[in-house]
Amino acid sequence: MTSKVYYMDARSNSPQTSLVSKMITVFEAAGFDKLIKPGDVVAIKLHCGEWNNTGYLRPVYARTIADKVKSLGGRPFVCDTTTQPYNPYATRCTALDLMVTAERNGYSSATLGCPFICADGFLGMDDYRVDLPEGYILKEAYIAQAIAAADVMIVLTHFKGHALGVIGGSLKNLGIGAQSKRGKFNVHMGCHPTYGLGSSAIFHPENCKGRKGEEDWQILEDCCPYGLIHVTEDSIEWEREKCVNCLSCLRPMISRGIWELSEDNFNATNAAIADACLATVKAVGPGKVAFINMAIDISKGCDCICFADVPIVPNLGVFAGYDPVALDKACLDKVVEAEGVQGSTAEEMEVMESGVRKFESCSPLMAGLSEEAQLNTGEIIGLGTLSYELVPVDEKEMTDVAFPPDPRPVGVRFRRLFKKLQPFPYDRYEGKGYNREEKVDLERVNTHFDDKK
pLDDT at 87: 84
Pair (171, 48) in one structural domain = yes
Q: Which of 138, 130, 127 is nearest to 82 (CA)?
A: 127
Pair (175, 223) in one structural domain = no
pLDDT at 414: 96
Residue numbers of the domain that contains 351 = 3-179+268-396
The pLDDT confidence band at residue 365, using thresholds 50, 70 and 90, is confident
pLDDT at 3: 98
Q: Which of 396, 419, 443 is the last residue of a domain?
A: 396
pLDDT digits (tens, 9 = 90+) for 253-283: 999 999 999 999 999 999 999 999 999 999 9
186 in any annotated domain: no
Pair (211, 148) in one structural domain = no
For the segment 366-381, the average pLDDT, to the nearest whole number, is 95
Higher pLDDT, 164 or 200: 200
Report whether 119 contacts 146 (CB < 8 A): yes
pLDDT at 422 over 70: yes
pLDDT at 367 over 90: no
**Strand 236-238 with 75-80, pairing:** unpaired
pLDDT at 453: 65
pLDDT at 275: 98
Distance CA 425, CA 407 (A): 27
Class of residue 212 by CB neighbours under 10 A (exposed 0-12, middle 13-18, buried 19+): exposed
pLDDT at 408: 93
Distance CA 40, CA 136 (A): 32
- Is 130 strand, coil or helix? strand
190 in any annotated domain: no
pLDDT at 366: 85
Output the domain CATH number for residue 354: 3.40.50
For the segment 6-25, the average pLDDT, to the nearest whole number, is 97
Pair (383, 424) in one structural domain = no
Distance CA 106, CA 55 (A): 13
User: Around 146, how many Cα atoms within 13 Å sit in the side-chain half-sphere?
Assistant: 23
Pair (252, 281) in one structural domain = no
Pair (114, 228) in one structural domain = no
Pair (312, 423) in one structural domain = no
Pair (45, 153) in one structural domain = yes
pLDDT at 95 over 80: yes
User: What is the total count of domains within the chain?
Assistant: 3
175 in any annotated domain: yes
Q: H or E element: which one contains 149? A: helix 145-149
192 in any annotated domain: no
Who's near 416: CB < 8 A, 6+ residues apart? none
The pLDDT confidence band at residue 90, using thresholds 50, 70 and 90, is confident
242 in any annotated domain: yes
185 in any annotated domain: no
Q: Which of 218, 236, 260 is the last residue of a domain?
A: 260
Pair (170, 315) in one structural domain = yes
pLDDT digits (tens, 9 = 90+) for 283-325: 999 899 999 999 999 999 999 988 999 999 999 999 999 999 9
Pair (380, 403) in one structural domain = no
Report whether 117 contacts 147 (CB < 8 A): no
189 in any annotated domain: no
Report whether 235 contacts 131 (CB < 8 A): no
Pair (392, 405) in one structural domain = no
Output the domain CATH number for residue 211: 3.30.70
Pair (227, 247) in one structural domain = yes
pLDDT at 452 over 90: no
pLDDT digits (tens, 9 = 90+) for 202-216: 999 999 999 999 889
pLDDT at 114: 98
For the segment 149-159, the average pLDDT, to the nearest whole number, is 98
For the segment 406-418, the average pLDDT, to the nearest whole number, is 95
Distance CA 108, CA 206 (A): 48
Higher pLDDT, 146 or 215: 146
For the segment 13-26, the average pLDDT, to the nearest whole number, is 97
Q: Which of 396, 420, 438 is the last residue of a domain?
A: 396
158 in any annotated domain: yes
Distance CA 96, CA 229 (A): 27
Q: Tell me which of 60-74, 211-225, 439-453 is least confident.
A: 439-453
pLDDT at 44 over 70: yes
DSSP line for 199-268? HHSEE-GGG--HHHH-TTTHHHHHT-TT--EEE-SSSEEE-GGG-----TTHHHHHHTTSEE--HHHHHH
Per-chain mean pLDDT for the chain: 96
pLDDT at 450: 75
pLDDT at 401 over 70: yes
* pTM reported for the whole predicted model: 0.95
